[in-house]
Structure 1
């Protein structure tokens, strides 16, 4: 396929695709390798993860530049992404013995009962372009240390990042076949899920893609984890620290140039704080630098593809036509590259795209509410439920509001983020299942009940 640098619109070199024979070979290799890998001592699996973290740290700049070239990520954010990949490897290398330990269960006298955690087999990972390394490594680290083997079908616009992941693991010493990248189109995903050698599937992507994968996995009775979109609420209550909420809010909306499932998207502000917050928020958004993603001073780079700019602008335009007002931004930048400015829109009708759809770019919708109860109701008025943020000077109040928001995670006085130590995932149309932490490691494991007693104990 034709590939383009999103910042310069220059053509990128083509990457050879894998054909049907390559896929068959990869599946056979994964199936055979699994039986060796699952019996590899846990200490060795942990050591290889530690070495992987070292490779990532040693070559951070190289891999960061690759992400910047292929999908336009600002270079500082790209470096942070690679560092986070090293962190998740170190986390599971350290905590795997705890997460994988047998769990004793008291049952009968003179009987030993416990739950053993065992790998399932080859797992297919279907990953998106927006965090081309992190999305993969948050799958890789828990699954490989648990004894599963992985096959990656990455997004078509980041094939070099996809191949780099496999090369990193091979450089770290992982045996051939433990993790394989397949440069194939989405049309091969369904048949791979249906193949008996694939035992589970995980997808991070759009809701339609998630429904398709979930349907096939369900028909095949295979476990799946789906991390889909988000329309995350960012609730600013009347007692919030306005300056902090505005500064963090601008960062929360524009991380990765706004192309993040857990970016703050709907800013829900109490009437008593609304005017001050809006002024501060607009100021923060306008202060951000849009430009060359390879420049460390750049805050917002290009959108990853031309069609993504078109989609974003269509959402903004349709919302304005429905009655919304643009406070800043609102038009694609007239320059080479797929750039859209930081945009703030107010008075958004509830059925307008900026209120009712996921917005994947640096455009924020700000809503005015009259009470805490109205803020919670509006936060929950979405088919999506991935994450959220609540701002208040009262920690107990923040926790109480967080408990009432329908989502997979809520952060009080902080932007929503993924963390290797915490489970990550959504509810409603944001998907199901969890990645990261102990829950993520066990998502594709057999939690096997084992009951042991002497024959002499039989009646």
Structure 2
């Protein structure tokens, strides 16, 4: 029997071990979902909403335990870990708040002799493939609206965070969700690919790498099912000459280094107007140099390890190559006692003298490093921000909202921020362009991707 092992980045111990699902178990889960979904779809929406709200309350009640598990599974500092459960609650409750309006029939203007409407029907069974970096926040984006729309859900979580899937399914069952409507499976990559091909699956929501997204598209080719793909990012920030420098430094640096930089919408490139560049670098280096890198179960730690030693080595290689090509490192790694090659512990780094020929400015780093470049004006900043294969979010720090709107209209990304970054507002559509993926979660628009329209054209008898 194949097993998954969650190796904790804290001490490289085996934190969780689980058997992978065998083909009979996978088939049984598909059959159970297909059998349970029609009755769930007929359940009044108010009852579905009530179950979701009860599940949210149960998640909040368990947030201390869930936060500790997150800390050990993926290395989130314990002081921040419970915040993910609060974010889960915010998104789930918002999607419940708007469910009635978002899923209501669309009534067309009256036409004599006819009744015309468009009904939003659930797709069937949704497969949600969730990652480890924000395991609850990424899963809730797809799981909760899929359930509220009347779909059954099968959740496949990363091998790094298997307890998240188990906890979510357990909580929803305790909240009263009927058996079979929401299940989890621990799967190998091959069986995940086979599940995408399964005829019982009508929708796939995948969050992960570009390579993983391509796998999903290949596996689903010719099936004509809906796919939501949230993939990589190399998100930029631009600090205009009129920006509040204190705020811009604090916000952009937090957006770059929170969760040790392991965020798809974290800031990985910063372009600063040349009049502010040197002061920005000085202030930013002061903040980054003061981080406490350590074991995430230590409440004083505010910068934890990366998820795996291999991930830390990847970022080190980007940094080393950039320095060899002429970049300047502003943080001395020797000041971080836990920084050791061959481990997941990596000192943060801030680089200047970088350009787009360097991997650290092109490839997704997914670690505690950011490169800064001075720019002359909006035009140069815009060109550099768009010079990427990714397009998830972009942040502009400025006092001029009209300038932000004008620049935002020309940015190739799914979300434009002004004076903030690295945040998902559940009222807004979460989407990306280019290699950041396709589809949409959250907001009322997100429900459109979890339902199909059915038109009713009813002619009255004479």
Deviations 1:338-384 (A, max 9, x none): 11122101111312111111110110011111111000110000010
Stretch of structure 1 that moved more, 392-401 or 32-41:
392-401
Cα distance, 1:105 vs structure 2: 2.2
1:25 aligns with 2:28: yes
1:423 aligns with 2:426: no
Alignment partners' CA distance in 1, 2:401 and 2:301? 34
Preserved CA contact (<8 Å) 2:233 2:392: yes
Q: 1:256 aligns with which of 256, 259, 271?
A: 259
Correspondences of 1:75-94 after superposition (within 5 Å): 75-94=78-97
Alignment partners' CA distance in 1, 2:6 and 2:402? 50
Alignment partners' CA distance in 2, 1:178 and 1:169? 10
Preserved CA contact (<8 Å) 1:7 1:336: no
Corresponding residue number in structure 1 for 2:216: 213
Alignment partners' CA distance in 2, 1:216 and 1:4? 29
Alignment partners' CA distance in 2, 1:330 and 1:271? 27
Normalising by structure 2, what TM-score? 0.95
Cα distance, 1:307 vs structure 2: 0.9
Alignment partners' CA distance in 2, 1:2 and 1:167? 21
Corresponding residue number in structure 2 for 1:110: 113
Corresponding residue number in structure 2 for 1:378: 384
Alignment partners' CA distance in 2, 1:189 and 1:17? 11
Corresponding residue number in structure 1 for 2:52: 49
Cα distance, 1:177 vs structure 2: 0.8
Alignment partners' CA distance in 1, 2:363 and 2:354? 12
Alignment partners' CA distance in 1, 2:322 and 2:221? 37
Correspondences of 1:55-454 after superposition (within 5 Å): 55-106=58-109, 108-329=111-332, 333-334=339-340, 338-454=344-460
Alignment partners' CA distance in 2, 1:453 and 1:75? 62
Distance 1:241 1:127, change over 3 A: same
Preserved CA contact (<8 Å) 1:201 1:225: yes
Preserved CA contact (<8 Å) 2:355 2:373: no
Deviations 1:186-215 (A, max 9, x none): 111221111110011110000011011022
Alignment partners' CA distance in 2, 1:83 and 1:120? 29
Alignment partners' CA distance in 2, 1:76 and 1:99? 36
Deviations 1:400-428 (A, max 9, x none): 22222110001101113112211101001
Alignment partners' CA distance in 2, 1:53 and 1:161? 14
For the aligned residues, what is the CA RMSD? 1.6
Preserved CA contact (<8 Å) 1:410 1:416: no
Alignment partners' CA distance in 2, 1:383 and 1:337? 30
Distance 1:216 1:16, change over 3 A: closer
Preserved CA contact (<8 Å) 1:121 1:198: yes
Alignment partners' CA distance in 1, 2:79 and 2:125? 34
Normalising by structure 1, what TM-score? 0.96
Cα distance, 1:316 vs structure 2: 1.2
SS in structure 2 at match of 1:328: coil
Alignment partners' CA distance in 2, 1:429 and 1:13? 32
- Structure 1 ranges of 4+ moved more than 4 A: 329-332
Preserved CA contact (<8 Å) 1:323 1:349: no
Alignment partners' CA distance in 2, 1:297 and 1:110? 71
Deviations 1:104-154 (A, max 9, x none): 223743322222111010011111110111111121110101100111111
Cα distance, 1:284 vs structure 2: 1.4
Alignment partners' CA distance in 1, 2:231 and 2:332? 27
Preserved CA contact (<8 Å) 2:145 2:450: no
Alignment partners' CA distance in 1, 2:31 and 2:279? 61
Cα distance, 1:393 vs structure 2: 1.5
Q: How many residues align?
A: 456
Q: Please, which runs of 5 or more residues in structure 1 have no aligned partner? A: none
Preserved CA contact (<8 Å) 1:409 1:416: no
Distance 1:347 1:410, change over 3 A: same
SS in structure 1 at match of 2:373: strand
Cα distance, 1:442 vs structure 2: 1.9
Alignment partners' CA distance in 1, 2:305 and 2:459? 63
